A and B are shown apart, each in its own frame.
Chain A
Amino acid sequence: MATLHTRSAARLMIAPSVLLLLAWMIVPLAMTIYFSLLRYNLLMPGMEEFAGLSNYTYFLTDPAFFQAIFNTLAIVLGVLFITVVGGIGLALLLDQPMFGQGIVRILVIAPFLIMPTVAALVWKNMFMNPVNGIFAWLAKLFGLQPFDFLANAPLFSIIIIVAWQWLPFATLILLTALQSLDEEQKEAAQMDGAGASSRFIYLILPHLSRAITVVILIQTIFLLSVFAEILVTTNGGPGTQSTNLTFLVYAQALLQFDVGGASAGGIIAVILANIVAFFLMRMIGKTLEA
């Protein structure tokens, strides 16, 4: 592949797929940008007119927008915290030799296989429901007032539901990393006088750092766009208390029929995701190189 001829031939060969990919990405993006500059409401078809940047001004000054940014970050960080800490704990437990290890491991993975809408409905109706839910039953058992999770702590409830779904993923990745830790290293640390906690801090945690990075990277990508769980449980409410950016764009387009405003929101979401990705890659690139 070194000569001029082969290089230009290679370029020619690659061209079709590059063009296809480019069109695949550029066309929707261009159309979204175009729509975001229009006054485009589905209730008033045929009345589109150029609106400049007013859609952006409207979307960015909407108080719901700041709430949505905050909620998006809260969901991402909250779920990441729970899954990484919980994942390390579960992985450490599952790494111990025990009876029925295979079955327990499969059971742990199960939540990841359940569809988000189903998982959210199960949580909503069977766990968090203030009348029929198991938490309400437990509260009543102790003579306490049942707590209406989805009404009083909607964001927290959604974080719990999403974390429950992603915990198996984190556990699985961290468990495989844990199993690749050299047995002799653990024994050497034991001989060197390191107790269980020192072994965890000085040996296991550094060994897991790469796997933790991978978990954070992959989960962040998916957690920025949590949607189904919100739609079937709180519908973004009460008010906008559990609306994240994805849900806000959805509400703008399909509840208020404002395609222009939703497109502007979509573009803003793309920009924000890129900012997050930029910092994430810088932070993570270092760990993956080392």
Chain B
Amino acid sequence: MGSITLKNVSKVFGVHAVIPSIDLDIDDGEFVVFVGPSGCGKSTLLRLIAGLEDVSGGEIVIDGKNATDLPPAKRGLSMVFQSYALYPHMSVRGNIAFPLKMAGEEKAVIDKKVADAARVLNLADYLDRKPRQLSGGQRQRVAIGRAIVRQPEAFLFDEPLSNLDAALRVNMRLEISQLHQQLKTTMIYVTHDQVEAMTMADKIVVLNRGRIEQVGSPLELYHRPDNLFVAGFIGSPKMNLVAGAPAAMHQAHTIGVRPEHLVLSKERGTWRGTVGVAEHLGSDTFLHVNADGIGTMTARVSGDFPVTHGDQVFLTPDPQRVHRFDDKGMAIR
């Protein structure tokens, strides 16, 4: 059904190679998240798959058929845009029905499918409103509704939650995950937010400067990052990266220790430092410690650890969970 394969796909704007060359396999029914810092080419990659941009080289295979030169409408994909891109002069019903109308469906069929989509997305009460009379979350749902009525091979989401406030974002994240459970359709989701990536994905594709840094399940990327970039990008707060003498002790160029893998003590430990800022979240406390001769390190301790600004503490990394990297930034295993 909705499997997508990219073979050696590249994209060049003028002289600037945004995507040098990418190979990627996406299985049917997978929830794949493209994640990376802004300008890493993740949106461009999505637009290449959608057919909104032409590839400069390579091949895109959708559902076993070569779709490289097919127009967007013929690829059997639906897209949800960052700005929602609803048609402002049409009612919610008109918006959701539009792709069916363009496909030349019969009126009765359209009405039924629109009603179904509206029920799934809790939009039944708003069908006759215009987009401007809806809240951000409702608009988002209309955009998703417009995408699902076509029953596409795969959904493409281009940073769909970035225009929503924090609380709504968490909600919609859940709704999109639930929708994926219900429909079991392939979904490709672009975001720069690694929390969205970690919570929603079956498979995460980490992109940097148009290259794939690593592909894997969220926990794979978390526990076994292939390189420094992935190590630094996945996880919040970020992994502590230490180069020089402390790393040499572990026979590595750089070592990485996640904040939750640092043991804190007031009496003894490997590295000594003073507490700069303590962020109390209640359940946890994030400590920014100025370690002597190393620099600032972030440590995560339980919420009842008694510590304030200026206290002297000792940090000890969990030796089992130290990530080691060579001088090219690649993981040593």
Q: Which residue numbers of A lie inside 8 Å of B, CB to CB? A: 182, 184-185, 187-195, 198, 202-203, 206-207, 209
Residues of A within 8 A of B50 (CB): 191
Q: Flag whether B219 is at the interface (Cβ < 8 A).
A: no
Given A203-B87, A206-B89, A207-B89, the answer on whether A191 and B78 have CB atoms closer than 8 Å is yes
- State A203–B85 Cα separation when bound (angstroms): 11
Q: Who on chain B is nearest to A206 by CB?
A: B89
Give chain A residues whose Cβ lies under 8 Å from the Cβ of B73.
190-194
Chain B nearest Cβ from A182, distance in angstroms = 6
Rounded to whole angstroms, the CA-CA distance of A193 and B89 in the bound complex is 18
A-B contact pairs, 20 of them (CB 8 A): A184-B81, A185-B86, A185-B87, A188-B81, A189-B87, A189-B98, A190-B72, A191-B50, A191-B52, A191-B77, A192-B99, A193-B102, A194-B73, A194-B98, A202-B87, A202-B90, A206-B87, A206-B89, A207-B88, A209-B89
Which residues of chain A are within 8 angstroms of B102 by Cβ–Cβ distance?
192-195, 198
Q: Which residues of A contact B78 (CB under 8 A)?
A: 191
Chain A residue nearest in CB terms to B75: A191
Docked Cα-Cα span, A194 to B103, in Å, equals 8
| A188 in contact with B85 (CB, 8 Å) | yes
Q: What is the interface residue range for chain B against chain A?
A: 20 to 34
Is A190 a contact of B52 with CB atoms below 8 Å? yes
A185 with B72: CB separation less than 8 A: no
- The answer, yes or no, to whether B79 is at the interface (CB within 8 Å) is yes
CB-CB under 8 A from A203, the residues of chain B are 87
Does residue B288 face the partner (Cβ distance < 8 Å to A)? no
Assuming the contacts A192-B98, A194-B98, A198-B102, asked whether A187 and B89 have C-beta atoms less than 8 A apart, the reply is no
Set of chain B residues within 8 Å of A209, measured between Cβ atoms = 89
Q: State whether A182 touches B83 (Cβ < 8 A).
A: yes
CB-CB under 8 A from A192, the residues of chain B are 73, 98-99, 102, 146, 150
- Distance of B128 from chain A, by nearest CB (Å): 15
Dominant SS among interface residues on chain A: helix
Q: Which residues of B contact A188 (CB under 8 A)?
A: 79, 81, 85-87, 146
A147–B79 alpha-carbon span in the complex (Å): 57
Q: How far is the CB of B4 from chain A (nearest CB, A)?
A: 15
Separation of A206 and B102 alpha carbons in the complex (Å) = 17
B85 pairs with A187, CB closer than 8 A: yes
**Is B82 an interface position by the 8 A CB rule?**
yes
Provided the pairs A190-B73, A191-B50 are in contact, do residues A184 and B85 lie with their beta carbons within 8 angstroms?
yes
Interface residues of B (CB under 8 A from A): 50, 52, 71-73, 77-79, 81-83, 85-90, 98-99, 102-103, 146, 150
- A259 CA to B185 CA, complexed, in Å: 82
Rounded to whole angstroms, the CA-CA distance of A203 and B98 in the bound complex is 11
Q: Are B89 and A182 in contact (CB under 8 A)?
A: no
Complex Cα spacing A206 to B89, Å = 7
A203 to chain B, nearest CB (A): 6
A184 neighbours in B (Cβ, 8 Å)? 81-83, 85
Give the distance in Å from the alpha carbon of A198 to the alpha carbon of B73 in the complex.
Answer: 13
- Residue from A182, A191, A198, A202 within 8 A of B72 (CB atoms): A191
- Taken together as a complex, chains A and B put the C-alpha atoms of A191 and B99 apart, in Å, by 8
Which chain A residues border B87 with CB–CB below 8 Å? 185, 188-189, 202-203, 206
- Chain A residues, Cβ within 8 Å of B90: 202, 206
A206 to B85 CA separation, bound complex (whole angstroms): 15
> How many angstroms between the C-alpha atoms of A185 and B71 in the bound complex?
16
Please measure, in the bound complex, the distance between the C-alpha atom of A198 and the C-alpha atom of B150, giving whole angstroms: 17
List the 5 closest pairs (A to B, CB-CB), nearest first.
Answer: A193-B73, A188-B85, A192-B99, A184-B85, A193-B102
Q: Which residues of chain B are near A187, meaning CB under 8 Å?
A: 52, 72, 79, 81, 85
Contact check: which of A185, A194, A202 meets B85 at CB < 8 Å? A185
Q: Which residues of A contact B79 (CB under 8 A)?
A: 187-188, 191
Distance in angstroms between the alpha carbons of A84 and B71 in the assembled complex:
32
Chain B residues in 8 Å Cβ range of A190:
52, 71-73
Which residue among A192, A193, A198 has the maximum number of chain B CB atoms within 10 Å of its CB?
A: A192
Task: Give the residues in chain A near B52, CB-CB below 8 Å.
Answer: 187, 190-191
Min CB distance, A170 to chain B, in Å? Answer: 21
Instruction: Give the residues in chain B near A206, CB-CB below 8 Å.
Output: 87, 89-90
Taking A190-B73, A191-B50, A194-B98 as known contacts, 9 extra A-B pairs with beta carbons closer than 8 A to each other, sorted by chain A number, are A182-B85, A184-B82, A191-B72, A191-B73, A191-B77, A192-B150, A193-B99, A193-B103, A198-B102
The residues of A that contact B146 with a CB separation of less than 8 Å are 188, 192
A190 to B102 CA separation, bound complex (whole angstroms): 10
Complex CA–CA separation, A202 to B90 (angstroms): 9
Closest A residue to B104 by beta carbon equals: A193
Q: Name A185's closest neighbour in chain B (CB-CB).
A: B85
